[in-house]
Amino acid sequence: MKSLHRLAPPGTQRGAATLVTAVVLLFALSLITVYAAQIGVIEQRISANDYRSKQAIEQAQAGLEQGITAFDNTWFNGVGSDSGSTNVVNLGAFSVTVQRVVKDDDTLARISTTGSSDDGTASSTVSQLVKRIPLLTGTPPAPLIAAKEISIGSKGKVENKATGIAVWSGAKIDCTGTANIVVEKTGDSVPCKGLGLCGGDDTLASLVNGADDSKFYHNFFSYGPDDMPGAIATTPEMLKDMLNQGKQIIFYQGESGYENLVLDNSIANSIGAANQPVILVVQNGGVTLQGDIEYYGLIYAQKGILVKGTGNQDNSPKVHGALITPENLHTQGEAEIIYTKSFTSYIPSHGPVELGINARLPGSWRDF
């Protein structure tokens, strides 16, 4: 007897197709999961690399900023005079490379630094062209300079063995009594002969127009007070603190009641030094020096200068440098103003960092 083979009902055969579909979907989901995981890993690596790169460039930029701030002419000492000559300068946490751009020019340089990430796997180098602008337009030609009248005490002393000019005034010079004027002719370029008294200079006087002394000011300084790299004091006590901190450029803008500044032994017995001159710019006020104070450097006072000496040299002010004002300038008693060759050579080109400002040349920043 033949056996009968029954066929499965149609409904039971559809389960196989469902299984295949489920397997395909599961495989697809697995592929998507693996792909997503790989994308996540890649993004993590990209993010980590970006973080390390930012660390490196930030460190390099920090070193560049420090290098731009610290750059001065001495960085090329012992370096060849040809363009392209380089020197490595250690600034503590950073090491910077300075490259001469123009032959024999110590004021223009390309400064570069290299930074790295914390783990050392990424590095970046940045550079910038920097031009050093000296604070003064040049060496002041005389120890006493005023657009208006200058008078010298009957027993005072003004000495200039550097440029040959003792007093330069846009008006008259009152030099009577036994005042001691000591000069040394240094060459045919000296505009004044004899005692080195240059009075009644209309060109100098014309630099002041009423209350506007800006032309007179810029005859001696390269840039205005707002751009200069100094500290601002508004009271004598603030000035005293800044001097104690070793500041070498100070702007005094006296608040109400302190417009006129008195420099005496209550401020300091000695201000500055031969190798560390102080430049003091007094705006909207005058300056009086009194007592036996010694001052090394330059004073510019917008409202006049008085050096108040006595009949005793030991109790009179002594200035090693220059006094400049668009108003009147007077010395009394046995006050001494001494202008030395070391001062004239130090101030314009060999001063410390604060005696100049470093300017970035636009468009010269590079990273690589």
- How confident is the model at residue 355, as a pLDDT? 62
> Which among 284, 307, 168 is positioned nearest to 225, based on CA atoms?
284
- The domain ranges of the chain are 20-134, 144-353
- How confident is the model at residue 156, as a pLDDT? 86
- How confident is the model at residue 102, as a pLDDT? 92
- How confident is the model at residue 190, as a pLDDT? 37
Task: Please give the helix or strand (H or E) that residue 66 lies within, else none.
Answer: helix 10-70
- How confident is the model at residue 44, as a pLDDT? 79
Q: How many Å apart are CA 353 and CA 235, to the nearest integer?
A: 25
Report DSSP letters for 161-211, one per residue.
Answer: SSSS-SEEESS-EEE-TT-EEEE----TT-S--TTTEE---HHHHTT-BTT
- How confident is the model at residue 5, as a pLDDT? 54
- How confident is the model at residue 2, as a pLDDT? 55
Report residue 44 CA to chain centroid gap.
43
pTM, two decimals, is 0.71
Report residue 204 as tokens.
């100098």
- How confident is the model at residue 12, as a pLDDT? 55
Low-confidence spans in the chain with pLDDT less than 50? 186-194, 348-354
- How confident is the model at residue 230, as a pLDDT? 64
> What residue has token string 């610290």?
70
